[in-house]
Amino acid sequence: MVITQPTFGAEFDDLAPVARATDENLFATMMASFDAAAARLGLDPSLYAILRKPDREIHVAVPTPLDGGGLSVFDGFRVQHNAGKGPYFGPLRLSGTLTVDELRALAAWMTWKCALLDIPFGGSAGGIRIDPGERSETEVERAVRRYVSCLLSDIGQDHDVFSSDMATDERVMAWVMDTVSMHSRFTENAVVCGKPIELGGTQGHSDAVAQGLRTILTRALELAGLPERGAEVMIQGAGSRGGNVARLLDGEHKIVGLSDVHGALYNAKGLAHGPILDWRERHGDLRGCTGDFERITNEEMLGRPCDVFIPCAVDTTVNQKNAPSLAARLVVEGAHGPVSANADKILEKRGVRVVPDILATGGGAIVNYFEWVQNRAGYAWSLDRVHKRMARMLDSAWSEVTTIAGEQSVPLRTAAHMLAVRRVAQADRVRGLYA
Amino acid sequence: MSKVSSVAPPQSLQDEFNPFLSMAKGFDTAADHLGLDEGVREVLRRPDREMTVAIPVVMDDGSMRVFTGYRVQHNFSRGPCKGGIRYAPDVNLDEIRALAAWMTWKCAVVDIPFGGAKGGVICDPRQLSQGELERITRRYTAAIMDILGPDRDVPAPDVNTNEQTMAWIMDTYSMHVRRTTTAIVTGKPLSIGGSRGRTEATGRGVMLICREALKKIGLRPEKTRVVVQGSGNVGGIGAMLLHREGYRVISLSDMYGSIVDEKGLDVPAVLAHLKKNKKLEGFPGARTLAGLTEQLELDCDVLVPAAVENQITSKNADKIQAKLIVEGANGPTTFAASEMLDRRGVVVVPDILANAGGVTVSYFEWVQDRMGYFWTEERVNSTLEQIMVKSFQDVDAVAHQYKVSLRIAAYILAIDRVAAVHRMRGIFA
């Protein structure tokens, strides 16, 4: 995607700029899905106008003392898209290249994802434009705590709830929880999800996305008429998400490809992914890893034959350039927006079914939601209960989405967004406009 | 709050047909059985708090009108207040007071952690546009907001208010407090924190109570002939569920009259016919009875009055042939009629027990909203069943212990529960 760092003023001139058809970035991808669903639903123009813009965007300066003396002022953002169905809920992201556009897209996506899965939340997204790799832990901690205190009147368990994301692990979420609680003068843990178990985290958080993806994959294979066991699977991304997916699918399916940012490993007869993932954990990437496989580029990997391609890494992996030659028969999106809107159209024409991100990665949002429920109740669930309830919610969303797709003859992505947009519009409609 | 002055109901309300007087008589009889001291009696007779508010509203034609709204909180010893909000031209403070007290007893009988409240706005919804109704609702909510809250007072739909009204209340409150507060009101649409199974909750409760009471009498479902007065949310759904359980529903009624088939009606078909034709008359294979009270005197085992108040009075009580009466409506039996039936050994399950299914599922909605986690319909129904069965057994046990009717037993149980909390909590200065 094109990374832009516009100045403060420019970012707020137009709350949600209209995406151009040629754009291939997160926001354009999200808007394309939303527009397709809204058009198909015949959405009331006034509701369309409300839903295409975030409710609110907050930009804060985050002054942070540096370890060596001196001070840096980072930019912090929180975009709150829609609260019709409940408190805002969305990722907290630390990234040196963070843009408001990507947060707008993520915030809206969270709205659709929660509505689709019947989670009583609206969507939001936020973060600090800081590169955690280049900063010490204490600097990051100070920036996060200052950022949280800047937003205190805009977050809360019934107001806006943070979830973990890129570069925000348990440790970061614990700082958030502590900062809010110290200001409130009481333990307040439901304001942030992805916490350590000791502070009210939930069972099943670490591999929630992979667990959910596996549930959805089973149903998707059935729909696509592919074998329910022993399918050839290619996974882009060998980090925690891609790695978890590989581990969970082990034994049920054959992993033929695995990649990271530097390149891909491929073996049509199946990869011994165990040693590969161990290598990745020890060394941080796959360079230098040896074994029975062919080393190819990420682009080459997309052209290799397989049943299922699961992109678990960055957005816009599949774009208008490589979509015509993608060899997989089924794509299950394991990250946000890996298939651009233009690529989506090409794949649809070619008959390649795409299971959309908001459904396939739903396990993460569901388990975060469960953490919030457990914190509110002050009662923790067993792992078994978490898994059972997650599977129930995903199965129900899957059934509703495939029903709409069948009845309306639309792709799964449009069907999922139709269901989501309809639910949010319904909530906004019954609540009415309040002055 | 100097509005409360008299302990006795106003003179105008003192006749057999005043359901609130019936309630007051039930209360007094039960209090005597409990040997309740005069102080506690007086506390429980009057509302804890009453609020009257002016509701200025800009009408569609640009003019301004000021409506009057009330919220009466009868008792909040056992938990936050719970009770409906009604919109009607004849809303008055006396009626709201009585209904608020009724809610206190109803919540106590089924042992849910609420006190009783009621509210209303004097207006004629048929003369108002949707926009005007929305503005009335939002201004009324804002005016009484200080005494509302998930832990203070939780409204619900009542006469002429519905899901949409509740959605406006939820939105107004949430916008004022700057956070999503679904637990502020129950009876909301599913999309913003409503509960599954709520629409049929009262009817389901009536069915469960019938089943439990018939077990006591020893009647088998297929041998049991049931007459249901009404065919709406309570009567219609109650009849449908009784039919599904294998009971023989032989008669249903609407505002024009009733239909009868001694062999048993196909209730789903009857309700489909009613939906299509807007009246029961003409349902194939059933005979029609004109008038509202003839139906009540039919030869049957169970009578479920689920329409309006004052249907069984001293005039027709001796003509009732049913062995069991389950009050689906509020106050369908006058106190005098109740005593006559009691003398004849007819079992009457009182309204505050029989139709408490509705408030019980409202309670579930509040619980789910507080957790933020929503139950399946099966879970709602099975938890409702547990509560209704337990409540019936509790009331029945009290009836045996004190050798009183189920009505007096229900009041004894409710008053005892509220009074016990009063004594434990003490008086806070």
Q: Which residue among A373, A430, A431 places its CB closest to the CB of B372?
A: A373
Q: In what order do the strands lie in the sheet with B248-254?
A: B287-290, B257-260, B248-254, B225-229, B302-305, B324-326, B347-349
Q: Residue A374's closest chain B neighbor by CA?
A: B371
- Say whether A318 sits in a helix, a strand or coil: strand
Residues in chain A with CB shorter than 8 Å from the CB of B171 are 431-432, 434
Residues in chain B with CB shorter than 8 Å from the CB of A427 are 189, 191-192
3-state secondary structure string across chain B:
CCCCCCCCCCHHHCCCCCHHHHHHHHHHHHHHHHCCCHHHHHHHHCCCEEEEEEEEEECCCCCEEEEEEEEEEEECCCCCEEEEEEEECCCCHHHHHHHHHHHHHHHHHCCCCCEEEEEEEECCHHHCCHHHHHHHHHHHHHHHHHHCECCCEEEEECCCCCHHHHHHHHHHHHHHHCCCCHHHCCCCCHHHCCCCCCCCHHHHHHHHHHHHHHHHHCCCHHHCEEEEECCCCCHHHHHHHHHHCCCEEEEEEECCEEEECCCCCCHHHHHHHHHHHCCCCCCCCCEEEECCCHHHHCCCCEEEECCCCCCECCCCHHHCCCCEEECCCCCCECHHHHHHHHHCCCEEECHHHHCCHHHHHHHHHHHHHHHCCCCCHHHHHHHHHHHHHHHHHHHHHHHHHHCCCHHHHHHHHHHHHHHHHHHHHCCCC
Helices then strands, counting H and E runs in chain A, come out as: 15, 12
Identify the CA nearest to A132 among candidates A101, A162, A98, A94.
Answer: A94
pLDDT number for residue B15 = 73
| Closest CA–CA distance from residue A381 to any residue of chain B (Å) | 13
The pLDDT tens digits of the residues spanning B201-238 come to 999 999 999 999 999 988 899 999 999 999 999 999 99
For residue B13, what pLDDT band results from cuts at 50, 70 and 90?
Answer: very low
Alpha carbon distances (Å) from A374 to A191, A382, B372:
12, 11, 9
The pLDDT tens digits of the residues spanning A357-381 come to 999 999 999 999 999 999 999 999 9
Does pLDDT of A10 surpass 50? no
pLDDT number for residue A165 = 87
For residue A12, what pLDDT band results from cuts at 50, 70 and 90?
Answer: very low
Q: Give residues 87 to 146 of A whose Cβ lies within 8 Å of B.
A: 87, 118, 120
Q: Which residue among A120, A156, A426 places its CB closest to the CB of B372?
A: A120
Q: Lowest-pLDDT range, A250-254, A422-426, B188-192?
A: A250-254
pLDDT number for residue A336 = 86
pLDDT number for residue A250 = 86
Cα separation, B250 vs B37, in Å, equals 47
pTM confidence score: 0.86
Tell me, what DSSP letter sits at residue A165? B
Counted residue by residue, chain A has a size of: 435
Contact B170 A427 (CB under 8 A): no
Contact B134 A432 (CB under 8 A): yes
Strand-pair partners of B68: B54, B122
Contact A373 B180 (CB under 8 A): no
Residues in chain B with CB shorter than 8 Å from the CB of A366 are none
Identify the CA nearest to A360 among candidates A116, A192, A89, A33.
Answer: A116
Instruction: Tell me what the mean pLDDT of segment A263-285 comes to.
Output: 90
Contact B373 A373 (CB under 8 A): yes
Does pLDDT of A166 surpass 90? no
Residues in chain A with CB shorter than 8 Å from the CB of B172 are 434
* Contact A434/B at CB under 8 A: yes
Q: Give residues 406 to 425 of A whose Cβ lies within 8 Å of B.
A: 423
The pLDDT tens digits of the residues spanning A34-58 come to 999 999 999 999 899 889 889 999 9
Cα separation, B29 vs A147, in Å, equals 64
pLDDT number for residue A23 = 59
Contact A431 B171 (CB under 8 A): yes
Q: Which residues of B are catalytic?
A: 118
Q: Which residue among B138, B189, B374 places its CB closest to the CB of A434?
A: B138
Contact B373 A432 (CB under 8 A): no
The pLDDT tens digits of the residues spanning B246-265 come to 999 999 999 899 999 999 99
pLDDT number for residue B421 = 93
Tokens of A165: 């994301």
Does pLDDT of A115 surpass 90? yes
| ipTM for the whole complex | 0.79
The pLDDT tens digits of the residues spanning B378-408 come to 999 999 999 999 999 999 999 999 999 999 9
pLDDT number for residue A435 = 59
| Closest CA–CA distance from residue B425 to any residue of chain A (Å) | 25
Contact A434 B171 (CB under 8 A): yes
Question: What percent of chain B clears pLDDT 70, i.e. is strictly above it?
Answer: 97
pLDDT number for residue A285 = 87
Does pLDDT of A331 surpass 50? yes
Q: Which residue among B189, B191, B372 places its CB closest to the CB of A372?
A: B372
B70: left (phi over 0), alpha (psi -120 to 50) or beta: beta
Contact B192 A156 (CB under 8 A): no
pLDDT number for residue A22 = 53
Mutate to test the interface with B, among A153, A159, A426, A434 (most CBs of B within 10 A): A434
Residues in chain A with CB shorter than 8 Å from the CB of B164 are 430
Contact B180 A159 (CB under 8 A): yes
Does pLDDT of A3 surpass 80? no
Whether residue B412 contacts residue B33, with contact meaning beta carbons closer than 8 Å, is answered with yes
Residues in chain B with CB shorter than 8 Å from the CB of A188 are none
For residue B14, what pLDDT band results from cuts at 50, 70 and 90?
Answer: low
Provide DSSP, A56-123.
EEEEEEEEEE-TTSSEEEEEEEEEEEE-TTSSEEEEEEE-TT--HHHHHHHHHHHHHHHHHTT-S-EE
Identify the CA nearest to A391 among candidates A208, A190, A155.
Answer: A208
Q: Residue B131's closest chain A neighbor by CA?
A: A432
Identify the CA nearest to A147 among candidates A132, A166, A128.
Answer: A128
The pLDDT tens digits of the residues spanning A416-429 come to 999 999 999 999 99
Cα separation, B59 vs B24, in Å, equals 40
Contact B372 A434 (CB under 8 A): no
Q: Which residue among A158, A427, A434 places its CB closest to the CB of B191?
A: A427
The pLDDT tens digits of the residues spanning B121-161 come to 999 999 999 999 999 999 999 999 999 999 999 999 999 99
Residues in chain B with CB shorter than 8 Å from the CB of A156 are 179
| Closest CA–CA distance from residue A47 to any residue of chain B (Å) | 16
B-side interface with A, Cβ within 8 Å?
Answer: 134, 138, 163-164, 167-168, 170-172, 175, 178-182, 189, 191-193, 370-374
pLDDT number for residue A126 = 97
pLDDT number for residue A66 = 95
Mean residue pLDDT of chain B comes to 93
pLDDT number for residue A9 = 36
pLDDT number for residue B309 = 86
Does pLDDT of A5 surpass 90? no
Residues in chain A with CB shorter than 8 Å from the CB of B189 are 426-427, 430
The pLDDT tens digits of the residues spanning A199-239 come to 999 999 999 999 999 999 999 999 999 988 999 999 999 88
